[in-house]
Structure 1
């Protein structure tokens, strides 16, 4: 698991429009990277909508927001359009980014071990350093909590 002070692992993933998004493209800008289980499930939908509703507030702080799941670009596009989600959603079909950020874990369900994604969020500063690593978060109300952490982080930067 990653922790505050660790360098954020680089990533290169396509978004819902199949444009490649890389961590290096956010140097000089703070970034919220949230990992969610699957498109169009109740909790993940609520989380993505809440981040979208607060996107302007994050932007006022100079913070970009990206969501990542193991769904493909087409599913992301359908999910985005169906629910009016404005934050960019990245596809990690190969699970490379999920592994790098330590958000996958084996869980036994009905005697079968499955590799599951743990809902997690990372706040990454302008230099690419993780300032907050939040594993096992709940979906509802989480975006507001992350906004508050980002605001506190920015205040600390300005003092």
Structure 2
């Protein structure tokens, strides 16, 4: 299911790279940039995370928090953050529950094949 513009974002609580629980409701009053990606340390996902990190000052000026979300666990996130000196928080959704709520996980069609 995809989120419709103007609708309230689905609530969630997920662990971050330090196993601390992050609740969307706990970020009320702040801008939240929540992005989803399939796996730590893959080429496209690394570029994306590094781009968010390089632009972090602009987001901070807007009091915005950036949260990346993937199925990877906290240990994988810690390695990814350390390796690329990331300045963003990464959330773990191994069951894909939140990713599915946001329409960011499901069957994909690649070159006519369901993947």
Same fold (TM over 0.5): yes
Which residue in 2 is equivalent to 1:118? none
Residue 113 of structure 1 deviates from its aligned partner by: 3.8
The 5-angstrom pairing of residues 97-112 of structure 1 reads 97-108=98-109
Unaligned runs of 5+ in 1: 115-159
- Find out whether 1:48 has 2:49 as its counterpart: yes
Indicate how the Cα distance of structure 1 residues 109 and 30 shifts in structure 2: closer, same or farther if over 3 A, else same.
Answer: closer
Q: 2:100·2:106 contact (CA, 8 Å) conserved in 1?
A: no
Residue 112 of structure 1 deviates from its aligned partner by: 6.7
Residue 107 of structure 1 deviates from its aligned partner by: 2.5
Tell me the matched-pair count. 114
Counterparts of 1:71 and 1:95 in 2: how far apart (Å)?
A: 10
Q: TM-score, normalised by structure 2?
A: 0.92
Which residue in 1 is equivalent to 2:81? 80
1:79-117 deviation digits (Å, cap 9, x = unpaired): 000110110000000111101101113125699743xxx
The two structures, once aligned, show a CA RMSD in angstroms of 1.6
Counterparts of 1:108 and 1:62 in 2: how far apart (Å)?
A: 37
Q: TM-score, normalised by structure 1?
A: 0.67
Indicate how the Cα distance of structure 1 residues 27 and 107 shifts in structure 2: closer, same or farther if over 3 A, else same.
Answer: same
User: Larger strand proportion, structure 1 or 2?
Assistant: 1
Q: 2:71·2:92 contact (CA, 8 Å) conserved in 1?
A: yes
1:39-62 deviation digits (Å, cap 9, x = unpaired): 000110010011011111101011
